[in-house]
A and B are shown apart, each in its own frame.
Chain A
Amino acid sequence: MAQPILKPVERQSKNVGSPKERIEDLRFLRGKGIYVDDVKKQDVLHVSILRSPIAHGLIKNIQTDEAKKLSGVVAILTAKDIIDRCGSVPLIPIRLHHNPILDSYKQPVIANEKVRFVGEAIALVVAKTPAIAEDAMGLIELDIESLEVASDIETALKNEVKLFSDPKGNSPLTYRSKKGNAQLVFDNAAYTRKEKFVIQRISAMTMETRGVLAEWKAESQELFVFGAAKVPFWNRAALAQMLNLDKNSVQLIENDVGGSFGARGEFYTEDFLIPFIAKTLGVTVKWIEDRLEHLTSMNQARDCDAEVEIACDREGRILGFRGHMHYDLGAYPRTNGLVAPRNITQFLTGPYKVDNVDLSCDIVFTNKTPSGTLRAPGRFESNFFCERLLELAAKDLGLDPVEIRRKNVLTPKDMPFPFPTISPSLIEHTADTECDSGDYRETLERCVKDFKWQELQHLQGQLVDGVYHGLGLSCFIEGGSAGPRENAKLRLEKDGLITFSVGSTSVGQGVETVLTQIAADELDLDMTQIVMLHGSTTLLNEGWGSYHSRSTVMGGSAVTNATDLFKEEIRVRASAVLRCDPSQIHVSAGVASSSQGGSVTWNELVSSSPIEVMGTFASHHHTYAYGCAAAHVSVDPKTGRIKVLDYLVVEDVGRAINPLTVHGQLVGGTVQGMSGTLLEHIVHDEQGQLLTGSLADYLIATATDFPSIRAVVLEQYPSPLNPLGAKGAGEGGTICVGGAIGNAVANALSSLNIEPTTLPLSPLRVWEMIHET
């Protein structure tokens, strides 16, 4: 087990651990945030993107003559123009878990000869105003020869419709996780049960749509791209390579970002196309995605099925899991498209002590919008499968739902507890990972106690005033702190201004506030004395961004390293002034004093040159926050409507730097999970046409849907893997919702023998389940 780097209690905590009001709020509340469409530039041209109206076809002709004649149109570009400039159409690279098997499946940045989903970019109209660009788009004539469509997993697996010419067909890669000897335990287990599950396709649906503003400076041959988010440094390297530019002549500027949830900020086709136009035409050009484009071209998620089996002994101890799953990735592998099928395979066992696992998952390409990560990728899905199976096992074995979980959750003596090994895993340090620390019984017991689980048991499965009541539980783990490292730069200017920059990006989660709390404590200053400059590639040489609940853990740990180096530099400079050894210098708020007597202010030490230090934190060990959720629902058998009467999630996050924002992550994540469990559904028809193309068709939670959500944040087991003790907290709320609500609905309808296995649990689906019995 990794040893603590530095016990959190040894550090100062004036701000850390305190529910500080956020710095970001001061501009957001006044309407002074600067999101990408708010960036002002002179002489900006606007782009509209003509997208494929059909899901699968061969492009025969693109007639642009009429459109070009429209006054105000500057240019219309297609794949041909990109080939002329670049030699070929560049492909969207894979950022996470790249596998060369997928090289022939990558998405061209613009459709070239073939379209594979409704919404794929075909032509770019550049015009003086957005309205003219859209008008011109309507004048382009497209001739596309329709091909047969594979719009679901079952059709695609037949390989009668081939999306790609690669002989591996529509399902070229299978993930497999193995541990122990699943075959042996299933052959001999006292109890086994197998079930099929289906989870629907949904969208991250960030409130701000995507947008790119690109400015080419011909004189200096520099490209500035506004609207970057999440992983700007990786995206810069990708873009520079595709445009054949040195990465130092490309800058990605992160503005305020209206939500990421895993989807916003990945490298999409538009992240090449708009800068390409700017550079090719030597102009400043802007594209702001509209909501329909958002629904057809931004990464979607979930969309998978599973046939999974659990084995237990007679007392309900889990002996093993095995099974096979399919993950529908849509038409192409996106930058992070492999994360969810990989996670679903490795993390299905969640917080439980399971020694025998044999799970596999095929990735499947279909004629739909490509898929990527969405808050709790693969984790939400596999939690639903695992928790539903465990609930069925409890029922079959006559065990209490709390008791069966109590028997199986991990305890300190089990730590560190390894997950199954995943393959293929081509990158070092990624095949194996282990739960780092904690007593998972504590969050279970706390949740059951605070929820008044026992006191409510008299309602379990009862019909009261025409509705069935049900209670459900779900235990979970949340993976955090993806490596390999993070950087933090800290500067003390000659005028006394202290700034710092971190590779963690600000996507609305409050990272400016949280990292400033850490920096202030480390430097013994007030938060108002330090300014965080965030996210742009102009500020640091390299950074890794915000995903996998990593921005606080990795970025915050890098900040502590930067402050250590800064104080060391203060000691060195002060020792020269005070004529003593650096070890004799004590550094406190703004002052360095010698144990031999005498002191000097920090400002005096930078009168000739500023101090700049570069901190870093490197780790390939993931942290695992953990918790438990309980739900109380009512189900109306007449309408199929589910009401969430009460819901509590308890998560131990190791250390909450800002309890206010952690609580906000848990509650917000929970409601996003509820929305994905009960309301949201991206629907395509058999021809791959999107049937839910607006926010009036695609329902997300509103203020009236889930009023009763409670969250409790615990800090009992700080992570031993980083100086903060933090474990990340952005996804836990979401992970457990499907399991908890699914189990509550099953228990509500137990007298009807209904076991939900398919999401969303929409009124129609629930009504149908009731009436099928």
Chain B
Amino acid sequence: MQVKMTVNGKLFESDLAPRINLADCLRHEMDLTGTHVACEHGVCGACTVLVNGDAVRSCLMLAVQANGQSVVTVEGLSSDAELSALQASFRKHNALQCGFCTPGFITTAHALLTQEPNCDEDRIREVLSGNLCRCTGYVPIVQAVLDARVAYQQMGVK
């Protein structure tokens, strides 16, 4: 099927098999391997991307469903020059070890802080409870997201 979507601000057009999911499309058709696949049934959150600003599990969405949508991956939230406020906060708090779940946490937390920059710790834990991490015990991740709120508050609620 013909598919046309915006990925990290660039137009992507392709003829895709209907059964390919968005995660595989991003990873293997577009070489955006920052989006990680760890369970393929929507439980672990590692493959989370932003679709029109909302956090979405790209393993549970067919690529064709993204037709006409705007998709942002962890690569789209990064610059080679310097880390974003959220990324820098993760680094400061040692909120990652093996790094495999990290892109999913970054995209999920970015969506949360963009939509709710004044969220409290309980809300952060509730939202992040949809992402699995095996290394950190989550304590530093929650601290990192709490600490990054101020940067999003300064940007204003979008």
Q: Which residues of A line the B interface, CB within 8 A?
A: 21-22, 24-35, 37-38, 40, 131, 204-209, 256-259, 261, 290-291, 507-510, 660-661, 663-664, 667-672, 694-696, 700-704, 706-707, 709
Q: How many residues of B contact A (CB 8 A)?
A: 56
From B43, B96, B132, give the contact of A25 (CB < 8 A): B96
Cβ contact within 8 Å between B137 and A706: yes
Chain B neighbourhood of A22, CB < 8 A: 91, 94
Please give the distance in Å from B147's CB to the nearest CB on chain A.
Answer: 14
Chain B neighbourhood of A695, CB < 8 A: 39, 41, 43-44, 132
Please give the distance in Å from B127's CB to the nearest CB on chain A.
Answer: 8
From B17, B35, B137, give the contact of A701 (CB < 8 A): B137
Cβ contact within 8 Å between A30 and B137: no
B52 at the A/B interface (Cβ < 8 Å)? no
A209-B38, A703-B141, A704-B125 given as contacts; is B134 within 8 A of A259 (CB)? yes
Cβ contact within 8 Å between B34 and A672: no
> A496 to B46, alpha carbons, bound, how many Å?
40
> A702 to B32, alpha carbons, bound, how many Å?
27
Please give the distance in Å from B38's CB to the nearest CB on chain A.
Answer: 5
Cβ contact within 8 Å between B34 and A32: yes
> A671 to B17, alpha carbons, bound, how many Å?
41
Chain B neighbourhood of A701, CB < 8 A: 137-138
> A26 to B142, alpha carbons, bound, how many Å?
19
Q: Which residues of B line the A interface, CB within 8 A?
A: 17, 19, 27, 31-41, 43-44, 46, 73-75, 78, 80, 83, 87, 90-92, 94, 96-103, 106, 121, 124-126, 128-142
Chain B neighbourhood of A509, CB < 8 A: 97
Of the A-B pairs whose beta carbons lie under 8 Å apart in the complex, a sample of 24, sorted by A's number, is A21-B92, A25-B99, A28-B96, A29-B87, A29-B90, A30-B74, A30-B83, A30-B87, A37-B33, A205-B134, A208-B98, A291-B41, A507-B98, A508-B100, A661-B94, A663-B94, A664-B135, A667-B139, A668-B136, A670-B137, A700-B134, A701-B137, A703-B128, A706-B138
Cβ contact within 8 Å between B39 and A29: no
Cβ contact within 8 Å between A31 and B35: yes
Cβ contact within 8 Å between B136 and A664: yes
A25-B91, A664-B140 given as contacts; is B132 within 8 A of A258 (CB)? no
Chain B neighbourhood of A291, CB < 8 A: 38-41
Chain B neighbourhood of A256, CB < 8 A: 98-100
Chain B neighbourhood of A670, CB < 8 A: 137
List 17 extra interface pairs beyond A667-B140, A694-B41, A702-B138, CB under 8 A: A25-B90, A30-B83, A32-B78, A37-B37, A206-B134, A207-B38, A207-B132, A207-B133, A258-B36, A258-B38, A291-B41, A508-B135, A671-B136, A672-B134, A704-B129, A706-B137, A707-B139
> A745 to B37, alpha carbons, bound, how many Å?
37
- Nearest B residue to A258 via CB reads B100
> A26 to B92, alpha carbons, bound, how many Å?
11
> A338 to B96, alpha carbons, bound, how many Å?
31
Cβ contact within 8 Å between B125 and A29: no
The 6 tightest CB contacts between A and B, nearest first, are A31-B34, A508-B98, A28-B99, A258-B100, A671-B137, A31-B74
A33-B99, A205-B134 given as contacts; is B40 within 8 A of A40 (CB)? no
A30-B75, A207-B134 given as contacts; is B99 within 8 A of A703 (CB)? no
> A510 to B43, alpha carbons, bound, how many Å?
26
Please give the distance in Å from B48's CB to the nearest CB on chain A.
Answer: 12
Chain B neighbourhood of A702, CB < 8 A: 128-132, 138
> A256 to B100, alpha carbons, bound, how many Å?
9
Dominant secondary structure of chain A at its interface with chain B = loop
- The winner among A38, A206, A258 for most chain B CB atoms within 10 A is A258
- Nearest B residue to A664 via CB reads B94
Cβ contact within 8 Å between B40 and A35: no
Chain B neighbourhood of A32, CB < 8 A: 34, 75, 78
From B19, B44, B134, B137, give the contact of A709 (CB < 8 A): B137
Cβ contact within 8 Å between A29 and B96: yes
Cβ contact within 8 Å between A508 and B78: no
From B35, B102, B130, give the contact of A28 (CB < 8 A): B102
> A117 to B25, alpha carbons, bound, how many Å?
34
> A701 to B125, alpha carbons, bound, how many Å?
12
Cβ contact within 8 Å between A29 and B19: no
Please give the distance in Å from A672's CB to the nearest CB on chain B.
Answer: 7
- Nearest B residue to A666 via CB reads B137
Please give the distance in Å from A414's CB to the nearest CB on chain B.
Answer: 33
Please give the distance in Å from A44's CB to the nearest CB on chain B.
Answer: 10
Cβ contact within 8 Å between B40 and A290: yes
Cβ contact within 8 Å between B98 and A207: yes
Please give the distance in Å from A668's CB to the nearest CB on chain B.
Answer: 4
A25-B99, A207-B98 given as contacts; is B136 within 8 A of A667 (CB)? yes
Chain B neighbourhood of A208, CB < 8 A: 36, 38, 98, 100
Chain B neighbourhood of A667, CB < 8 A: 136-137, 139-140
> A226 to B50, alpha carbons, bound, how many Å?
31
> A647 to B134, alpha carbons, bound, how many Å?
19
Cβ contact within 8 Å between A694 and B98: no
Chain A neighbourhood of B43, CB < 8 A: 694-696
> A726 to B97, alpha carbons, bound, how many Å?
20
